[in-house]
Amino acid sequence: MDIESARLIAMALAAGLGVLGPGIGIGLIGGRAMDAIGRNPDASDKIVSNMILAIVFTEALGILALVVSFIIKFVG
């Protein structure tokens, strides 16, 4: 196996596994927020704003994983 093949495999693993966790996390955040809104519709404004903030922080981890995968591919 040459170095380019190893780099491509590392890039695929970093991107795939790095985005898997945030994807599951965002699904859980959205599901729990909808459950909370269903239980207390009057607090939906506060719940939605907190949900969006949590999704942004979770998505930042996915973007970081993509950046790391591109660094693996193009640097070195």
Residue 25 resides in a domain: yes
pLDDT over 70 percentage in the chain: 99
Q: What angle do CA 58, 7, 74 make, to 5 degrees?
A: 75
**Structure confidence by residue, pLDDT tens digits, 39-61:** 999 999 999 999 999 999 999 99
CATH number at residue 49: 1.20.20.10
Range of the domain at 20: 15-70
Q: Give how many domains the chain has, as a whole number.
A: 1
Q: How far apart are CA 52 and CA 74, in angstroms?
A: 33
pTM for this one? 0.82
Residue 50 resides in a domain: yes
Residue 29 resides in a domain: yes
Residue 46 resides in a domain: yes
DSSP type of residue 21: H
Residue 58 resides in a domain: yes
pLDDT over 90 percentage in the chain: 91
